């Protein structure tokens, strides 16, 4: 049997005791969801975060009836709506699986219990959140500073798998442009 | 004498011991910087984070010789380049004071030492970082989904002070538009 992904990640940094391992495994089950399953819907209060083992989750926001794609989460990425979880406020975004997706389900309450029992688990999580914060910060900076064509090139460079994994109109939306503009950019780059 | 801002924030959540208070005060000094002072320059490795007590810090990235403003940090906001700090990689962004600014200086190494001595301090920091992550996430979502005019209205609504506090070309850059476009939007909204 494969090791639990969280155990695997933390074991790269330190040696976990058997009790720590089994507590992590028992607190954070691995689940597989069908394509099209919603992990979080607009209006719901987020109680779980997720770590993608295999698959893809699309994040989108509904603006004037149109789905604006704001993120794609694939292998080893965390899917979380921190604002909703922390403030217990209704989510403004949706998380939906674009393919069959296996994830570790990280329930906020169980996470807190684990912090109390194994304080150093909190250190790993603080570290992980700091890393995620850095990534979101970087993406925001890129989005503000780059032009659509540069954003596309960056995506192609950093996440080449994504281009062929999800429909192009999702990619266009994620880049903040119309599908026609994306087609034009792609044609220009290929010529 | 006023209480240290971090002591003040944490004291709203719990009762700190005298030792915890003095350790926080001694680890994280309050400093005042002149307008134009750089807290972090492109190419440097970030070692400190900051919490603004009074003043304003502008974040920008140099793109083809042009300063693209990517954030403004004012009272009670944290100024941090997590990626540079965590990976010990050269910063891609700059932090500069747009006015005389007083901040609490949070040195990463001293922070780690405090975590070891007072583990619950780590909980406050984890909580704080989760909140910041939520905010960055929200901003990224907004930036992708909103049109420039909507972005301006949101800024006016959420941070009305900022509009009169910094030059308009910084605001335009922050909204990802040209100063002329911002002027046009403002005229349209006033008519």
The model's pLDDT over A25-51, given as tens digits with 9 standing for 90+, comes to: 999 999 999 999 999 999 999 999 999
Radius of gyration, alpha carbons of chain B = 18
Q: Exposed/middle/buried for B148, CB within 10 Å: 0-12, 13-18, 19+?
A: middle
CB contact under 8 A, A86 and B134: yes
pLDDT of residue B16: 87
pLDDT of residue A120: 86
Spatial CA neighbour of A72 closest among A159, A185, A180:
A159
| pLDDT at residue A1 greater than cutoff 70 | no
Is residue B30 within 8 A of residue B102, CB to CB? The reply is yes
Tell me the whole-structure pTM to 2 decimals: 0.91
| pLDDT at residue A142 greater than cutoff 70 | yes
| pLDDT at residue B1 greater than cutoff 60 | no
Of A68, A125, A134, the CB nearest to B126: A125
Rounded CA-CA distance B49/B118 in Å is 19
| pLDDT at residue B123 greater than cutoff 70 | yes
| pLDDT at residue B3 greater than cutoff 80 | no
pLDDT of residue A9: 85
Rounded CA-CA distance A162/A171 in Å is 8
CB contacts of B141 in chain A (<8 Å) are 59, 61, 70-71, 92-93
Report how far apart the first and last C-alpha atoms of chain B are (Å, whole number): 49
Q: b/e map of A34-68 (b: 16 or more CB within 10 Å)?
A: eeeeebbeeeeebebbbbbbebbbbbbbeeeeebb
For residue B41, name the pLDDT band (cuts at 50, 70, 90): very high
CB contacts of A87 in chain B (<8 Å) are 134
The model's pLDDT over B140-189, given as tens digits with 9 standing for 90+, comes to: 999 999 988 999 999 999 999 998 899 999 999 999 899 999 999 999 98
pLDDT of residue A166: 95
Its CATH architecture, for the domain A5-131, is Sandwich (2.60)
CB contact under 8 A, B133 and A63: no
For residue B12, name the pLDDT band (cuts at 50, 70, 90): confident
pLDDT of residue A2: 64
Rounded CA-CA distance A156/B172 in Å is 28
| pLDDT at residue A153 greater than cutoff 90 | yes
Q: Which CATH superfamily is domain B5-145 in?
A: Jelly Rolls (2.60.120.10)
- How many helices (H) and strands (E) chain B has is answered by 9, 8
Rounded CA-CA distance A163/A74 in Å is 12
Q: What average pLDDT does the segment A141-151 reach? A: 91
Radius of gyration, alpha carbons of chain A = 18
Helix orientation angle between A148-158 and A179-190, rounded to the nearest 10 degrees: 70
The model's pLDDT over A46-90, given as tens digits with 9 standing for 90+, comes to: 999 999 999 999 999 999 899 999 999 999 999 999 999 999 999
| pLDDT at residue B2 greater than cutoff 70 | no
Rounded CA-CA distance A174/B143 in Å is 11
Q: Establish how many alpha carbons lie within 13 A of residue B21's alpha carbon, considering only the half-sphere containing its beta carbon.
A: 11
- Number of neighbouring beta carbons within 10 Å of residue A191: 5
Query: Would you kindly state where each structural domain of chain A is located, as residue ranges?
Result: 5-131, 146-191
pLDDT of residue B174: 93
Rounded CA-CA distance B159/B139 in Å is 13
Spatial CA neighbour of A77 closest among B124, B137, B155:
B137
Minimal C-alpha gap between A186 and chain B (Å)? 20
* Average pLDDT along chain A: 93
Phi, psi of A180 (to 5 degrees): -65, -40
Interface of A with B in 25-64 (CB under 8 A): 59, 61, 63
């Amino acid at each position: 049997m494969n090791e639990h992904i969280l155990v695997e990640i933390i074991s790269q940094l330190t040696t976990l005791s058997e009790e720590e391992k089994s507590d992590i495994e028992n607190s954070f089950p691995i689940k597989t969801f069908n394509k099209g399953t919603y992990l979080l819907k607009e209006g719901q209060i987020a109680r779980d975060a997720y770590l993608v083992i295999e698959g893809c989750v699309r994040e989108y926001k509904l603006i004037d009836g149109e789905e604006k794609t704001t993120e794609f989460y694939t292998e080893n990425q965390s899917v979380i709506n921190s604002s909703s979880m922390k403030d217990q406020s209704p989510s403004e975004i949706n998380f939906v699986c674009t393919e069959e997706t296996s994830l570790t389900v990280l329930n906020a309450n169980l996470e807190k219990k684990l912090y109390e029992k194994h304080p150093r688990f909190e250190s790993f999580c603080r570290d992980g959140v700091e890393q995620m914060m850095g990534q979101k910060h970087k993406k925001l900076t890129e989005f503000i500073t780059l032009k659509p064509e540069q954003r596309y090139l960056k995506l192609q460079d950093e996440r080449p798998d994504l281009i062929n994994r999800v429909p192009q109109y999702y990619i266009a939306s994620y880049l903040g442009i119309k599908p026609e503009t994306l087609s034009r950019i792609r044609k220009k780059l290929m010529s």
